[in-house]
Amino acid sequence: MVERLQLNPQFRGIGFTSQRTRNRMIERLVEQGIKNKAVLDVLRNLPRHLFVDEALSHHAYEDTALPIGLGQTLSQPYIVARMTELLLEKSPKKVLEIGTGSGYQCAVLSCLVANVWSVERLDSLLEKARQRIKTLNLNNVHLYHTDGSFGLASAAPFNAILVTAAPKEIPASLFDQLAEGGRLIIPVGDEQQMLSIFDKQDGKLMQTDIQPVRFVPLLSGAN
């Protein structure tokens, strides 16, 4: 599904959006241990600069998190790549993302899986993400304005759930909405956070801790 990005050559741009700049980002990701070629290809071609304010565009391909307003951030490329790589190990066709944010992680997923559902509690962020997704013609994305701590029961079950904000405790709804054989990828904790995966096998959850991380907290509330 990576080839859909080739339909948008106008987004390759020049200067800070040049292919050389993107290639340097990919080289860093490889050095950091990212191995999945499909993930690397998507991050190489997807215009990350479209997912931040214009004033921050020159930082778009650096390995750093960037503010997107309302106390939220666009995760650094390494974290996006690593979480996506972990998700693809299960070859999911139906994925739920908790925390649309800028829409970047959602867009990455849409190029690699059949269908993506994504929920966001902050309406202004969701509307910006919706416009970006539309601009890129990513038609397999379904966006919802709702509290991510409840998941999205109306579309469950999901083969994989990816959470882009850290709860102190994992909402039980996410476990319930995960299909048998599915995988939940989530950062958990307060001051100290751990990125973990939970694989659902025979109705039970098998936990594997991946690495310490730092995400914004997962909050409740519609606005």
Kindly state the tokens that stand for 163: 């959470």
Cross-strand partners of 158 = 178
Q: Strand, coil or helix: what is 89?
A: coil
| 77 preceded by a cis bond (ω within 30 of 0) | no
Kindly state the tokens that stand for 139: 């038609």
Query: Is 110 in the active site?
Result: no
- Nearest-Å Rg of the Cα atoms of the chain is 16
Q: Report the distance separating Cα 57 and Cα 138, nearest Å.
A: 21
Catalytic residue, chosen from 57, 75, 110, 196, is 75
217 phi and psi angles, rounded to 5 deg = -70, 150
Q: Report the distance separating Cα 183 and Cα 82, nearest Å.
A: 14
Nearest-5° Cα angle at 112, 145 to 215: 50
DSSP 125: H
Active-site residue list: 75
